[in-house]
Amino acid sequence: MSNKAKIREEARKLNPIDDLMFRKMAEDTEFCQEILRVILEDNQLIVLESTPQWTGANLQGRSVILDAKCIKGNGAQVDIEVQKADDDDHQRRVRYNSAILTTNIADPGIKFEKIPDVCVVFISKFDIFEGNLPLYHVDRIVRETGKIANNGLEEVYVNTKIKDDSEVSKLMEVFVDDNAYNSKFPKTSNIKRRYKETEGGLNIMCEIMERITTEERNRINKLNAILLKNKRYDDLQRTTEDHEFQEKLMKELLPNETIN
């Protein structure tokens, strides 16, 4: 099988839970609006703008790429993240992303009361809180009174693992099941079908995968050159066997090199 054929075969396996497909789907504002109406349980919610792969940076220059940033009709900003692997402290990731987003959208000198509300929607293939629920809302609670203290940050966690008869669970089925389409979610289903089943859509996904493959190869070559230059031969050998170690060195030695 040729390399192009292999890439095409892998492209057919993509679903909205995968970064590549989700970010492409998130170019469509109506898709983001549809899924946020379900997840945030607001049928009147309006999304004015959606930006896939939005990049923000902190004062030290470290950047973060959000899978999708949306602006709601009331001015609130939403970070939507999709995550397949349970391989990090994702609650701290949510905290970091929300801080970077807030810093980048707040004008210098703005009064704190005018800082836009931020919501992080974290969609995962695993049940992050292991409560056997498909949807969780995390609130700030005053320990002594039990009352909610609202500082303008909302955290919502959704997972595809726990299945029930809720709307959000039915939506998550479309996110992960190759053959799942649902007329309740027409925008999500139609865009997914376009990128999985039509010639034009598959070609787009293949082009993205080929570009990312090339970028990843270039990153590895740059890393190898640095390790050779610094005579870190043992580390070089280990990177050929340990992908997690390789990624750790990427973040350490190539902090500004990201795959989009």
**Domain ranges, ordered by start, for the chain:** 3-197, 216-253
Q: Is the pLDDT of residue 30 over 90?
A: yes
pLDDT band at 217 (very low <50, low <70, confident <90, very high): confident
Bridge-based pairing of strands 118-124 and 77-83 is parallel
Element (H, E) at 81: strand 77-83
Q: Is 211 left (phi over 0), alpha (psi -120 to 50) or beta?
A: alpha
Mean pLDDT of 25-31: 96
Closest alpha carbon to 52 in 70, 37, 39, 64: 70
pLDDT band at 258 (very low <50, low <70, confident <90, very high): low
Q: Is the pLDDT of residue 8 over 80?
A: yes
Closest alpha carbon to 82 in 36, 32, 123, 31: 123
- Looking at per-residue confidence, does 117 or 8 come out higher? 117
**Residues 128 and 136: beta-carbon distance below 8 Å:** yes
Bridge-based pairing of strands 153-159 and 118-124 is parallel
Q: What is the pLDDT of residue 257?
A: 62
Model confidence over 47-79: pLDDT tens digits? 999 999 999 987 776 778 899 999 999 999 999
Q: What is the pLDDT of residue 211?
A: 84
Q: Tokens 């810093």 identify what position?
A: 103
Q: Is the pLDDT of residue 12 over 50?
A: yes
- Looking at per-residue confidence, does 44 or 215 come out higher? 44
C-alpha span between 224 and 221 (Å, rounded): 5
Model confidence over 177-189: pLDDT tens digits? 999 999 999 999 9
Q: What is the pLDDT of residue 259?
A: 46
**Residues 187 and 199: beta-carbon distance below 8 Å:** no
